[in-house]
Structure 1
């Protein structure tokens, strides 16, 4: 029997496909998933032979899922079932090794024919290749496990020469104890470490998997260094091989993570520790990165320790937001600077619930004072927040990769009906009408 999973963001289609008589074809349906990232997480932990997937889905679409499967699990067969009769999508699917490309709606008879051909192909001579791929995968997973364990120890405490050499060899890391400089970075989801918002174990596992997957591609794959993700907290540790380039590389990671804002529902903060000449001293750099994050405000982008500072110090000018009211007199120019800081805070956090009280607390002023500053410009705090959200919503609506219900969450709303009312009041059109009138 072959193991199948179904990936489609429409629950009716997932349920309908799952109800098909797969057993008559020698196939067992193992799971149903709403997007590619969730499916990829499952494939990484369970035996799967065939993936039946849609193309357009949130967080990770079908094309990206196929690319990831081809690189990480090449023995998995993929069949695409999509409602988009677009040659470009079919071409990309076939380039990424899709076994077949079916268009919705399709009959169960056509579905059965496709999977009979696929299972016959698997029966004919793929067993040896699958066994080889499975052995290679076991080797990769063991090396990753050893690498993660070694990196955790390296960031936590100083290792002696033997421990360091053994850890690098077992984890397949190209590091030399004295060939620095190196630096440690800590990346955290603010939702988990600042707001202390409760999440389920399943969510936490998915967050950690998503972060690990992204960092493998962008950080390790891009040659920036190595990383490890704590599966219990989703806190990420990054080892930078080129400390001078760490900020640029971290910014690239943050930009990529923005694609998953609807999944994480959180801003991301990164602390960059000071460089160390010895790799065995990375625990000091990691501790400095942690201290920077401990004093941050939610939504801070990058907090970097200076290259020449002592381990316990914070770099001048790179600390989290200081209180403008404590640092300056209430002259008009300083109030304008405070208003600019408030707008930056809103633009960094518009994607979630954001009250006047919270923004005022982040800037160390009273809600009344912050409200007055906005009203002096001719619009209220709420009007400014709504304007930012609507501007972003209009931008996202021109991108067909995002469905309207995804955009609702991405711009900070939980009720689609309320979002539609606000959007229509702001633009004169419903979101659907705006999308239909926008050039694609």
Structure 2
């Protein structure tokens, strides 16, 4: 790093000599210029970052002693070298008392002597800069430790649901209002699938570090599995304070996007120092929950709508649990209409997102039972949890319902002529699988031989023709078993099995339960 030097002397020959016989660049120095008196030099010192001042003592307008005093007032870390004559020792002593590093005699001045003093000045400057850096690091580490202790206190208060802790109890800043902001990463589960759970934890830690660099005050505890909570003081709770809080959070949001290439949604509120910490947390989380209905990547200030949701919660809106959902599903003439009704209800009434997710799980489970697919559905719960917004959840529900309404949909190996033939064959099968259907019947429907169809069906779908028909019939039997009023022999007939004993035996082999056991288990 280069240090900057200024030469001051009223004699041009001295100034020119000092400038010419030193290799300033070779010493790691930059000569900023030269002045004829202290007044000119002081003007330069106030405009440029001068590290080393080489000045004569006796000069007109402003002498070297006054320049030394004022230069140190402008820049206390500046290093000053005095140049004097033999008869100026008392002035030199006064200059050294004021803070000059050394003095040189004009009559005997040699380049090596000046270089040695300049080098000593450079060493002192480097040592001083190192001490400043170390001090700054110590201050930063101490502040970070204080913030970590504050994080611990906040988390402990929230975990304990301690409603007796106020903002002023933890932060101790008199007359302040506080911004509470709940930060959640958008597309969290996509990040998890791509990079793993550890990456998500590291990303929130990086956000926390960004906040501590971005704001000199406040804390940012990480709430495991949820997000990042920001708490920092502001001036007031008036409208300017509210809009200013949102603007400041927008700058933090932009910082996260730039540094981490991540989108975040933030719910925020302003709280008085006398308010409970837990209330501030609940408010900003309630505001952040608006992301589910209004979209990701925004900042949502807490408002009166959030007040109602926060104070009364999801109990204001009747929640449909499993049995009630299944009863409604059985009574509906069109299960898709019930899905439409639920989604419309969620969007208009806006219950808490967790209630919506619970009902969505019960809805898909009931839909699955109605369609005869009553196996456990653990994947539904996890996939529903991954939906960040109501639009994503709606798309998932409709896609899942469509798949369940079209059971045993076979994936064909290609899209050529053979696949087109098998697709037509499958359409014919789905229209007639409840009848006495043979391979020859299907072959005739698409105008090919029975042997050709048998080989092509296996090649394209990976299934034998008769296995596929049996799967369709079993699926229909499961659906019918969910209805109490239908007898077992009726279930067999209506699902395409003419022999009830064969049906019962095959059903148990495929499901591990008799038809009666299956009905009893899934209608409880």
TM-score range, shorter chain: 0.3 to 0.5
Is the helix fraction higher in 1 or 2?
A: 2
| The structure with more radius of gyration | 2
- Provide TM-score, normalisation by structure 1: 0.35
- Provide TM-score, normalisation by structure 2: 0.30
